[in-house]
Amino acid sequence: MWRKIIKDKEFTSSMTKIAVPVMLQSLITSSLNTLDTFMITKLGTNSIAGVGLANQIFFFYSFILFGINTGASILFAQFYGANELDRVKKTLNYSLKFSIAVSIIFNILAYFIPEYLISLFTNDAAVITEGAKYMRVVSLSYIVTGMSFAIGIAMRSTGNARSPFIASFVSFFVNAFFNYCFIFGKFGFPALGVKGAAVGTIFARFTECFVLIYVIRRYRGPLYAKVKDLFSIDKDFRKYFVRVVTPVTIEETLWSLAQVVYGAIYAKIGVEATAAIQVAQAISNMLYVIARGVSSASAVILGIKIGENKLDRAHDMALKSLTVGFSSGVLLGSILIFIPHIFLRVFPDLTPGVRESARLALMAFGLTYPFRMYNSVSIVGVFRGGGDVKYSMFLELFCSWFVGIPCAAIGVVFFGVPLWGALLLSSIDEVVKLAIGTPRILKKKWIKRLA
């Protein structure tokens, strides 16, 4: 298969053009999270755990946004492939409206009741206090975050992965600078501790959104529209948009809620485990960017081919994308298994207990990487890119809620397994996804024309 992939110039060119900027953008985002974690480790274990649990709420919120806009990306790609630019703009109209509405709701909740939200995960008063400080401030960035999600995914879905990368690149340095200033009180700024990390995030999110809007207004590509057009209402298209986007949004919402439940399960192990999983996930996410890049590129490539009515070609590209995903998982998983200690050197201030727990967690992640990366490409790239959103929803939610969560909960509550054991138990769902999802791909049942 790899020989066929290398010889397929159209596939490799399209994949590289979209996947590489997405990978770099994801790497920047993950590096930023790692940088945040690195800086916060200097404030102590309670701060690490508090900010980590606060970010569980942001994680839940961001995946609702991801669901809305990933659903919209199916329409963007197929309409763009069919050269229906008016419908591309209408899709952006409604993806922005729904993203902003969700952002306002989470902004209100995170600002007014952060202590309650953090207490859903832990009853440790010190951890709740630190997490609430961070969440109340960072919630002020949620609305522009929603706008950036909508615009960035729209750009990638219409072939422009470069601009979102540039926006993330600029925001990375903005965040790093203001984090340093406000966490530790440098260059005359006040030392705000965990609040300072939130302030840095606010500056970064506004910068990212500004860059994306500037690009659209300056270069007037397929997404350019007058401001008044963004407030127009097309009831028929809205119904169509909701019908396509709803399954993906439900899937991402319930899947992200499952990840929040996982976080609560891991928190039951103890404060050290809660801190360790934040460190391990920050490192793991930096390597996982390849899966995000291949998945995002696959969704766009396959959507465009289906929009062009080249269905056999789309199926061929889907199989090649899955091969790239699984092979990458084997390579990166091996790195985490054999040399996890290399990555932990970035965090010199960890306690010995947190460090050892994080090392074992990274090894557990490594064992599951081939399955996770394959499933990321199959669900986000193939099923969603092909318009098979209902099956994607079934596969993701069934495996998370009826396989992964029960296994992890039973292991922690009844058998007292350590963090690494809970991670392995929760990953049984990845094996099940691969086993029941692959036959549908091979039978070409995932191809659904929407344009």
pLDDT at 402: 96
State the Cα–Cα distance between residues 291 and 323, nearest whole angstrom. 11
The pTM (predicted TM-score) of the whole model is 0.76
Can you give the residue ranges of every domain in the chain?
2-442
pLDDT at 159: 79
CA distances from 347 to 53, 273, 341, 342, 442 (A): 19, 16, 10, 10, 44
**Number of separate helices (H) and strands (E) present in the chain:** 19, 0
Give residue 310's region: left, alpha or beta (phi > 0; psi -120 to 50).
beta
pLDDT at 247: 87
- The answer to whether 136 touches 192, Cβ cutoff 8 Å, is no
CA distances from 285 to 76, 104, 165, 281, 282 (A): 27, 27, 17, 6, 5
Q: Of 123, 136, 73, 176, which Cα lies nearest the Cα of 392?
A: 73
Neighbouring CB atoms inside 10 A of 9's CB total: 8
| DSSP SS3 for 224 | coil
Query: Which long-range contacts (C-beta less than 8 Å, at least 24 apart) are formed by 403-406?
Result: 403/428, 403/429, 403/432, 404/258, 404/262, 404/428, 404/429, 404/430, 405/258, 405/261, 405/262, 405/265
pLDDT at 451: 60
Task: Pinpoint the alpha helices (H) of 185-270.
Answer: 194-219, 235-267
| DSSP SS3 for 232 | coil
pLDDT at 395: 94
Q: What is the largest CA-CA distance in the chain?
A: 63
In order along its 451 residues, the chain shows pLDDT tens digits of 777 888 888 888 888 888 888 788 777 766 666 677 778 878 888 888 888 888 888 888 888 898 899 888 888 888 887 888 888 888 999 999 999 999 999 999 999 999 999 998 888 899 999 999 999 999 999 999 999 999 998 998 887 888 998 998 899 899 999 999 999 999 999 999 989 999 999 999 999 999 999 998 887 777 877 777 666 778 888 898 998 888 888 888 888 889 889 988 998 898 889 889 988 988 888 888 888 888 988 988 998 888 888 999 999 999 999 999 999 999 999 999 999 999 999 888 888 999 999 999 999 999 999 999 999 999 989 998 898 988 998 999 999 999 999 999 999 999 999 999 999 999 999 999 999 999 999 999 999 887 6
State the Cα–Cα distance between residues 356 and 279, nearest whole angstrom. 11
State the Cα–Cα distance between residues 292 and 153, nearest whole angstrom. 12
* Secondary structure element (H or E) that encloses residue 319, with its range: helix 311-338
pLDDT at 407: 97
**Percent helix / strand / coil, the chain, rounded to 5:** 85, 0, 15
Neighbouring CB atoms inside 10 A of 138's CB total: 27
Q: Of 356, 329, 331, which Cα lies nearest the Cα of 344?
A: 356
Burial class (CB in 10 A: 0-12, 13-18, 19+), 84: middle
